[in-house]
Amino acid sequence: MRELRGGKVAVIGGAGLIGSHLADQLRQEEVAEIRIYDNLYRGSRENLKKALSDPRVRLIEGDILKVRNLRAALRGTDYVFHLAAAWLLECLEKPRLAVDVNIMGTFNVLEACRDLGIKRLVFSSSASVYGNALTIPMSEDHPFNNRTLYGATKIAGEQLCRAFHEMHRLNYVGLRYMNVYGPRQDYKSAYTVVIMKILDRIDQGLPPLIYGDGSQAYDFIYVEDAAAANICAMKADAVDEFYNVGMGVKTSINELTHLLLEMTGSPLRPQYEPAGMTFVTHRVGSTEKAARDLAFSAKVGLREGLEKLISWRRLQKDIS
């Protein structure tokens, strides 16, 4: 178990959902410096409002495809968290961007970590590598059943990490997030996630839409827990391993929708539509390996996390 006290840390993609919460939590670790490297494409300065009040935190605007800028941002740091990525729907609509950012961008990060002597890297992968679950809960040994370009780029990123460890002894560990939600979630772009879409419909006085029969079930994890998993992974002794980051709790879209209707006090009832394009219908991760090797267990239950998200969302709408 390593201590981060006194170390210099870089968070690539640190202005986004998980990265900004990670920046907040790193302030409690007595680190000497926290550099946030982000192109602000999906992340924002607003997400870092709390973190940037700390003189140890610095935002460096930059892109992982710009090798010189990336290396300058990482030079002199000890520990790197790599969270920057094109998201699932972006990868569907912009496949070349997906390959450039998620594969070549990750290669650039790995190469910089090798050349600059970074002590340890935590790489953000995704449960998308698994595709549809063949067994539930899915252990980290579950086969790669992915059928999406996003998942393919994350598999490639994982394999690049393995290759850099094998060739250059790069000290890294990887995290496979389940469905992350919480405050600072993007609710304005075309790529909003299911929880935000349900809440948007409720706000508009429209029935939430459920595609198919609503039996699709996922593992929802609160963003502060996902951020905490990064710190646990950085401190742990495990090397060249990947870990699920989830609650290990199965929640169907029907259950999620009715819970949100109840919590918002809405009299609406869901509206069922024919099933459209669905990437996966069932995905719940085993939490045993992360608990054993990383000393990580999620703390925030779904209802509590949704309460925090709804409160934050209302505040944002009041401000705007």
Rounded (5°) CA angle 147-153-159: 110
Confidence of residue 1 (pLDDT cuts 50, 70, 90): confident
Tokens 């670790």: give the residue.
Answer: 29
Q: Which two tokens stand for residue 119?
A: 């002590």
Q: Does residue 3 fall inside a structural domain?
A: no
Q: Does residue 170 fall inside a structural domain?
A: yes
Q: Where are the beta strands (DSSP E) in 98-149?
A: 120-126
Q: Does residue 311 fall inside a structural domain?
A: no
CATH code for the domain in which residue 159 is found: 3.40.50.720
Which is nearest to 149 in space by CA: 188, 100, 77? 100
Q: Does residue 209 fall inside a structural domain?
A: no
Per-residue model confidence as pLDDT tens digits over 81-95: 999 999 888 888 999
Please tell me the predicted confidence (pLDDT) of residue 192. 58
Domain of 40, in residue numbers:
8-181+220-246+286-299
Confidence of residue 319 (pLDDT cuts 50, 70, 90): low
Q: Does residue 188 fall inside a structural domain?
A: no
Rounded (5°) CA angle 164-119-66: 65
Query: Measured on CA atoms in the order 58, 180, 122, 161, is the torsion positive or negative?
Result: negative
Distance from chain centroid for Cα 64: 17
Whole-angstrom distance, CA of residue 191 vs CA of residue 178: 17
Please tell me the predicted confidence (pLDDT) of residue 191. 47
What DSSP character marks residue 28? G
Q: Is the pLDDT reported for residue 139 higher than 60? A: yes
Q: What's the domain count of the chain?
A: 1
